[in-house]
Amino acid sequence: MNRPDPITGITFPKGKSLLHNPLLNKGTAFTQSEREYLQLEGLLPPYILTLEEQKMKVLSAVRLKETDMEKYMYLTALQDRNEILFYKLIMDEIEEFMPIIYTPTVGRACQEFGHIFRRPRGLYISAKDQGSIIKILCNWPQRDVDVIVVTDGERILGLGDLGADGMGIPIGKLSLYTACAGIHPGKTLPITIDIGTNNEELLADPLYIGLRQKRMNGPDYDSFMDEFMDAATHVFPDVLIQFEDFANHNAQRLLDRYRHHYCTFNDDIQGTASVVLAGLFSAMRLLNQNLSDQRFLFFGAGSAATGIADLIIQVLKNLGMSDEDARRRIYLFDSKGLVVTNRNDLSDIKKPFARECDYESDFASAIKTIKPTAIIGVSGIGGAFDQRVIQTMAELNDRPIIFALSNPTSKSECTAQKAYEWTNGKAIFASGSPFVPVNFNGKQLIPGQGNNAYIFPGLGFGVVMSKPYRIQDELFVIAAETLSSRVTDSNLNKGLLYPPLNQIRDISIQIATKVAEKAIEMGDSKMEPLCDVESTIRSQAFIPEYRSYI
């Protein structure tokens, strides 16, 4: 008689059906007694491999692939047939494969998603489902879901509207929740909200997998999203909902609409803000200065920029600064120029950051006027930090802070090589996508990658464990402080503002611990205080090991 898996609630199938269930399949690692009991005799080659032997086999195979896209497709197929083996490989070789399963390769994968689509993963909820979203969610086989990552595909990385092809993003994000922090893959759910696309190329593509219609907007869109949030929290009562890659005109608005009523956050806004704040904390150690000594100029004035600015302001206020004084440290520069009070074309999210100063339409000129100590690129415009911009920063600052955060790599405002060359090796640099180490004047400089994966998996795991009613800004601050505390003096001397990626599992556990402790301390948690939060979290973290079926 079949029995349910104690973690996922899935009933154990037997025979060929078991081999097609990626959460339960062990492939050639099934023992002889398991093969007899589970009716697998003859369905597998006779030699029995260990998990470690299987890992070496797939590692060798994926390394033979010539392009990153071929590697992505191989790893996707592996995840679809054996999740334990997939996560064993990813977790053991995180530095090699994170750029494959997530940025920058996932951006290319989303651009080609309809053409490489093989097997469905997650849920697609379309405009045609309005009025019956709860029914669609109930089609998901697991009821014990800890984390949902949802996108509507309108602003995938820096690539724009990819509609239903944006599903690669929530799939990739949830893979990192498991690999980096330890949330069980059976308790995660990727969702794409398909309310159409305004991308004419996709609408004309015969292989496009989404609705062939223009995007729903206005009150209809809001009504649809309201129904989704209500349904998701009804079907999965304690779920954390992470918003991902929504367009600027919806991202902050939806965050404001839901953040006080649901356990939700927007990673592009708040996760980005937290990882940037961590990098700034590390930069302050290099400079032997305080955050209150800095002046920040953002290139890009969308929800990512305002989210980072808001969190910086929160920290400055925590240090005793008034809101007005804190805002004086922040300047935004959008597609039309410096965000100043006498402009009459500012969106609502930009108005709180408008400054009473002279308007500048040229970014390098704005730098000369404002004299920032840090420039932060969140524009999606590749190469925007040109030689004139970087050298102007170097003229004004002994150690200019230059964060080129746009993804993927082609959209980065400047490369690490250029940032170091044009500042004579003095730049304090971080990027959103990875860059290789730079040899400059006999010294190897390792550029820091401000990857959100340093923040959201650990923060999410801490939220799952402490079950707060809402996710307050203090949790993102404590996550940033915890991450920065893991950067050693040796790391800083090499240019690293973030710890090595191979430490991310332990870092995420520490972030989860601090976040859970803070949520409980704030009295905003459904959980009772725990004697040893870290031990409890570590005991619950997913480890890619096969269990016995006998």
Instruction: Give the pLDDT confidence score for residue 1 in this predicted structure.
Output: 41
- Can you read off the two tokens belonging to residue 206? 């015969």
Same domain, 145 and 226: yes
Running DSSP on this structure, what letter comes out for residue 438? E
Pair (180, 84) in one structural domain: no
- On whether both 82 and 155 belong to a single domain, the answer is no
Statement to judge: residues 196 and 236 lie in one domain: yes
Nearest to 452 by CA among 460, 462, 464, 440: 460
pLDDT, mean of each 10-residue run, the chain (550 residues)? 58 89 96 96 97 98 97 96 98 95 90 88 96 97 95 91 96 97 97 98 96 97 98 97 95 96 96 98 96 97 95 96 95 96 93 94 96 96 96 97 91 95 96 91 91 96 95 97 97 93 96 95 79 90 94
Asked if residue 85 and residue 39 are part of one domain, the reply reads yes
168, 62: one domain: no
Strands 374-377 and 296-299: parallel
Residue 159: the pLDDT is 87
Residue 88 and residue 143 in one domain: no
Q: Return the closest-CA partner of residue 239 out of 260, 271, 263.
A: 263
Alpha helices of 120-247 — where are they, by DSSP H?
133-138, 168-176, 200-204, 218-235
Backbone angles phi, psi at 136, to 5 degrees: -65, -45
CA-to-CA separations, 382 to 67, 393, 431, 518, in angstroms, rounded: 22, 18, 12, 38
CATH number of residue 50's parent domain: 1.20.1370.30
Q: Is residue 444 part of a domain?
A: no
* Structure-token pair, residue 374: 């840090």
pTM of the entire predicted model: 0.93
User: Which string of b and e fits 519-549 if b means at least 16 CB within 10 Å?
Assistant: bbeeebbeeeeeeebeeebeeebbebebeeb
Quote the domain boundaries for residue 39.
16-101
Specify whether 102 is catalytic: yes
Of 207, 230, 262, at which residue does a domain stop? 262
- The pair phi, psi for residue 305, each rounded to 5°, is -60, -50
Q: Examine residue 253 and state whether it is found in any structural domain, yes or no.
A: yes
Backbone angles phi and psi of 418, in degrees to 5: -65, -40
pLDDT at 3: 60
Q: Quick one: 30 and 167 in the same domain?
A: no
Mapped onto helix, strand or coil, the DSSP state of residue 145 is coil
Can you spell out the DSSP letters for 33-89? HHHHHTT-TTTS-SPPPPHHHHHHHHHHHHHT-SSHHHHHHHHHHHHHH-HHHHHHH
Q: Are 270 and 307 in contact (CB under 8 A)?
A: yes
In a domain, 221, yes or no: yes
**CATH value at residue 174:** 3.40.50.10380
- Lookup result for tokens 């937290």: 274
In a domain, 149, yes or no: yes
Domain co-membership, 68 together with 143: no
**CA torsion angle 272 273 274 278 (round to 10):** 100
User: Please, which residues have CB within 8 angstroms of residue 539's CB and are 6 or more apart in sequence?
Assistant: none
388-417 residue pLDDT tens: 999 999 999 999 999 999 988 888 999 999
CB proximity list for 258: less than 8 A, separation 6 or greater? 229, 264
Identify the pLDDT of residue 104: 86
In a domain, 314, yes or no: no
Active-site residue, selected from the candidate residues 72, 87, 102, 454: 102
Residue 445 and residue 438 in contact, taking contact as beta carbons nearer than 8 Å? yes
Q: Which of 101, 126, 155 is the last residue of a domain?
A: 101
Q: Are 144 and 218 members of one domain?
A: yes
Annotated catalytic residue, options 71, 173, 187, 418: 173
Same domain, 221 and 185: yes
Last residue of a domain, which of 101, 126, 160? 101
Q: How many domains does the chain have?
A: 2
Write down the H helix ranges in 177-271: 200-204, 218-235, 248-258
Cβ-based neighbours of 532, under 8 Å, separated by 6 or more: none
Q: 437-472 as b/e, with b when 16 or more CB fall inside 10 Å?
A: ebebeeeebbbbbbbbbbbbbbbbbbbbbbbbebbb
**Omega of the bond leading into 408 within 30 degrees of 0 (cis):** yes
The bridge status of strand 438-440 relative to strand 448-449 is unpaired
Query: What is the pLDDT, as a whole number, of residue 8?
Result: 58
Q: Is 87 a catalytic residue?
A: no
CB 192 within 8 A of CB 170: yes
Task: Find out whether 63 and 100 touch, Cβ atoms under 8 Å.
Answer: no
| Residue 532, in any domain of the structure | no
